[in-house]
Amino acid sequence: MCGIVAYVGHREAYPVILKGLKRLEYRGYDSAGIALNDSKLSVYKKQGKVARLEESLVGVELKATIGIGHTRWATHGEPSDRNAHPHLSASGRLAMIHNGIIENYASLKLELEKKGYAFKSDTDTEVLLNFIDDILIRNQCSLEEAVRIALKRVVGAYVIVLMDEEDPSTLIAARKGSPLVIGVGENEHFLASDASPIIEYTKQVVYVNDYELAIIKGNELILKNLGNEIVTPFVQQLDLELAAIEKGGYDHFMLKEIFEQPKTIFDCLRGRLDIANQDIIMSGVQHYMEELKTANRIIIIACGTSWHAGLVAEYIIEELCRIPVEVEYASEFRYRNPIVNKGDVLFAISQSGETADTLVAIERAKEQGAIIFGILNVVGSSIARISHAGAYTHAGPEIGVASTKAFTAQLVVLAMIALKIAKEKKSISNARFMHLMHELNAVPEKVKEILASTEKIKAVASKHAAASSFLFLGRGYNFPIALEGALKLKEISYIHAEGYPAAEMKHGPIALVDENLPVLFVATKDAYHEKVVSNMQEINARKGKLIAVVTAGDHSVLSLTGDLIEVPEADEVIAPILNVVPLQLLSYYIGVERGLDVDRPRNLAKSVTVE
Ligand code: G6P
C-alpha cells in the first residue's frame, strides 16, 4: 500500500526520491507525488504511474537537497491528482506524506472547519496536516512540538513525514502501526516504507518503532518518544543485495520469484534440516518447545496467501503432532472477541510482517496471554518485533504482488516446525520422521523438475486464457492448494475463480460445469486419490474442461480426457509445496497472455498496511 520515500543530505533529492518511488511501485498504488524544499515548497503530483509524474517533470529545474515522495493507494477519496500526496497545509508552510488511516479524521475535520479551515482534498491526511498546521501557528512552537501535540489526539495508524518551508534542512517523521526505515549515510539520510529504496546508498538502517518521532537532518538523526525523551537509535546492518530487488533478466518479478524457488526452499532448509543427527535446528521453536508440545491448541492467524499456508499447516500439525489447530483470518479474529486460553499458542504467518489486520490480531491475543510465534519473511518487520519467538522463511525480498516463493517457504518452515514438535512429543515414529526429513530435503530438486516443464504449462495456460471462470478442486492437503490456485488466478488474470474441496463439488459447484468451464484438480496421489479420480470422471462426463496436477507415472489418471500436468511423486504431507508451483506458472502465463501487468495487478497491494 502507500509507499513513502524522503531524502535529506548533499545530493539532489529528486532523482533519489523518484528512483525510490519506482522501487516501491510493487506495494500497489494509484497516484504518485513529490515535494521539494528549496526554501520554498514545490509540490508535484499525478494520478497514475510514477512514470507519468516523471514525464510531467521533464525540463523542470529540481535542485533541492531535501524532499519527500509518495505512492498513494486510495482509502479516503478517489484516486486523483487532488487527493495524491504530498499535501500542502492551509498556511502553505508545511508539506506532508502519510501512510495509514486517521480513524478520527472526521471529528478533527469538523473542529478545523469551525476555525475556518477549508480542504482541497478528500483525504484524512490533509486533515491531520492542517491539525498540525493549526497547532504550529497558534502555539508559535516548533514543528516537532506541534507534531507531538497533534499525535496525542490521533486515533489510527500512520507514518508521516513533514517538511517546513521555514526550516529547509529538516524532516520530521513519526510512526504508529505502519513501517518506517531510515537509512543512515555519510551526511545524508534516506527514509522509506521498506529498505528497497535505500540499499543502493547505504546498508546502515534504523527501524523506527511505534510512538517514536524522528528529527532528521543530513548529518543528524534524533529519535524521541511522544513524551519528548531521547531514544538511542539502534543502527542495524541490512543483509540485502541490490540484485535481490531487480528483475535479473526475467520479464517479471513474479516469474523470477517462481524460478527462484529451488534456491529459496534450499535456503530455508539450510542449517535447519540436520539429517545426519536426525534433528531439526530451529532455536525459536526449541526455546518454546515445552509450551508447544503441551499446547492445548494452536491458533493460526494470517491473511491472503499466508492464510492458505496456515490451512496446510492445520492438516500437517494435527496429523503429525496431534494438537488441535484453528486457522483464522486475522481480520475476523481481531473483531470477534476471540477466546484465547492459557496453553494456547498463536502462530502468525505473514510474508511482509506488516499486514495491519494480522498485527492487531496479535495484539489482541497477546493481551489475553497467548504466546506469539511469527512465521515471517521480512526480517525486522513489525510483527517480528512484537512476537515472542518465531522462524524466518528466508525467501528474500518478494516484489511480485502475488506471493509465490514466500508461500512455498512458509510451507517448508511450517512442515519443519510440525516435524520438530512431533519428534519431541513422540507423536510420530522415528522412521516417519526420517522419511519426511528426506522428503523435505528432496523438495528443491523436485521443484526444479517441475520448472523444467514450464513450456507445457505455458501451452495449457494459452489454451484456457480466454476463460471467464475457473473452478479449482482438491482434497485433504491439496484443498488449500486449490484455494491458493484460485486466488493466484484471480489476482493475476482477473478471471473469476473459486477453490473448493473436491468432495463438496456435488453440493453446488457441479451446477456450473459445462463445456466452457475449466476445472482444475490438484490430484496427486494421497489417501483420497481414488475418490478424486472419480470426481474428475464426473467432470469428464459433463464435458467440463479438465486440467489436473497429477503424480508422474500415475496410471489411474490415464483414462481421463484433459490437460494433465505431472509433478514428481512426494509424500502427501510434502506434496503441497510441489503442487502449487504449476498453479503459479499457470496463473502467470494466463495473466501474460491476457496482456496484464502481472507484477502490479489493479487494486492490489503487496503489503496491506491499513485494515
Ligand atoms: C496482500 C498480498 C498477498 C498476501 C496478503 C497477506 O493481499 O497481495 O500476496 O498474501 O497481503 O500478506 P502478508 O504479508 O501478511 O503475508
3-state secondary structure 244-263: HHCCCCCCCHHHHHHHCHHH
Active site residue 606: yes
Integer Cα distance of 215 and 174 in angstroms: 9
Domain ranges of the chain: 3-244, 248-441, 451-611
Integer Cα distance of 406 and 393 in angstroms: 7
Give distance in angstroms: CA of 609 to centre of ligand 1: 10
> How far, rounded to the nearest angstrom, does the alpha carbon of residue 225 sit from its chain's CA centroid?
28
Mutate to test the pocket of ligand 1, among 27, 303, 375 (most ligand atoms within 8 A of CB): 303
Integer Cα distance of 33 and 18 in angstroms: 9
Residues with a CB atom less than 6 Å from ligand 1: 303-306, 350-352, 355, 358, 401-403, 604, 606-608
φ/ψ (deg, to 5) at 192: -160, 165
Task: For ligand 1, atom 8, name the residue with the nearest CA.
Answer: 606
Which CATH number is 3-244 given? 3.60.20.10
Q: Kindly name the residue from 420, 423, 545, 606 that is annotated as catalytic.
A: 606
**Atom of ligand 1 lying closest to residue 604 CA:** 8
Domains 3-244 and 451-611 share a fold: no
Whether the model pTM is above 0.85? yes
Give distance in angstroms: CA of 606 to centre of ligand 1: 6
Closest CA to 125 of 160, 153, 93, 151: 160
Closest CA to 197 of 55, 404, 26: 26
Task: For ligand 1, atom 15, name the residue with the nearest CA.
Answer: 350
Query: DSSP letters along 250-314, please?
Result: -SSHHHHHHHTHHHHHHHHHTTTEETTTTEE--HHHHHTHHHHHT-SEEEEEE-HHHHHHHHHHH
Task: For ligand 1, atom 5, name the residue with the nearest CA.
Answer: 304
Active site residue 2: yes
pLDDT along the chain (611 residues), means of 10: 94 97 90 96 95 95 96 89 95 95 93 95 95 96 96 92 96 93 97 94 95 95 94 91 87 96 96 95 95 95 98 98 96 89 94 93 91 93 91 94 97 98 97 98 98 97 97 96 98 96 91 93 93 93 95 92 96 98 98 94 84 74
Contact 586, 521 (CB under 8 A): no
Pull the grid cell for residue 328: 483464522
Give distance in angstroms: CA of 135 to centre of ligand 1: 38
Closest CA to 605 of 74, 18, 19: 74
Task: For ligand 1, atom 2, name the residue with the nearest CA.
Answer: 606
Contacts for 148 with CB less than 8 Å, ≥ 6 apart? 213, 224, 226, 228
Integer Cα distance of 24 and 5 in angstroms: 9
**Atom of ligand 1 lying closest to residue 352 CA:** 14
> How far, rounded to the nearest angstrom, does the alpha carbon of residue 128 sit from its chain's CA centroid?
27
Task: For ligand 1, atom 1, name the residue with the nearest CA.
Answer: 606
Task: For ligand 1, atom 3, name the residue with the nearest CA.
Answer: 304
Query: DSSP letters along 73-106, please?
Result: --SSS-SSTTTSSPEE-TTSSEEEEEEEEETTHH
pLDDT confidence of residue 244: 84
Contacts for 504 with CB less than 8 Å, ≥ 6 apart? none
Give distance in angstroms: CA of 307 to centre of ligand 1: 9
H or E stretch at 237: strand 235-237
If you search the block for the grid coordinates 517441475, which residue do you land on?
450
Distances (CA, A) of 399 to 393, 510, 605: 15, 37, 11
Which CATH number is 451-611 given? 3.40.50.10490
**Atom of ligand 1 lying closest to residue 304 CA:** 10
Contacts for 122 with CB less than 8 Å, ≥ 6 apart? 76, 77, 78, 82, 83
If you search the block for the grid coordinates 491448541, which residue do you land on?
297
Integer Cα distance of 531 and 505 in angstroms: 12
pLDDT confidence of residue 605: 85
Give distance in angstroms: CA of 428 to centre of ligand 1: 33
Is residue 427 classed as helix, strand or coil in its secondary structure? coil
pLDDT confidence of residue 574: 97
H or E stretch at 171: strand 167-176
Contact 443, 265 (CB under 8 A): yes
Is 248-441 a CATH 1.10.540.10 domain? Answer: no
